Amino acid sequence: MKSITLIGIVLVILGVLALAYQGFTYTHQEKVLDVGPIHATVEKHDRISLSPILGGLVLAGGVALLVVGARKKS
């Protein structure tokens, strides 16, 4: 399999996932209190949103690479 076709497949998959989920959530701990032997932390949930336009562009780029890869075979 040519590398351009493989990259196209990966971009199509990433584009579909970006359109379906439109972002992802992650959790991290933040230190709230640190006084002597007393330590307190809190878990914060943050979300990174992905624009549907970005997902569409990635999907279109992947399809374009698949088309170019198919044309180079023939």
- The DSSP secondary structure of 33-45, one letter per residue, reads EEETTEEEEEEEE
- pLDDT tens-place string over residues 47-57: 999 899 999 99
Q: What H or E segment, with its residue span, contains residue 70? A: helix 52-73
Tokens 């002597």 -> residue = 36
Q: Which tokens sit at 22?
A: 């439109």
Low-confidence ranges of the chain (pLDDT < 70): 1, 73-74
pLDDT value at residue 57:
96
> Which pLDDT does position 15 carry in this prediction?
94
DSSP letter (8 states) at residue 20: H
Query: Three-state DSSP class for 18?
Result: helix
* Residue 1: per-residue pLDDT: 64
Confidence (pLDDT) at 74: 63
Domain encompassing residue 19: 3-73
Amino acid at 64: A
pTM over 0.85? The answer is no
Domain count across the chain: 1
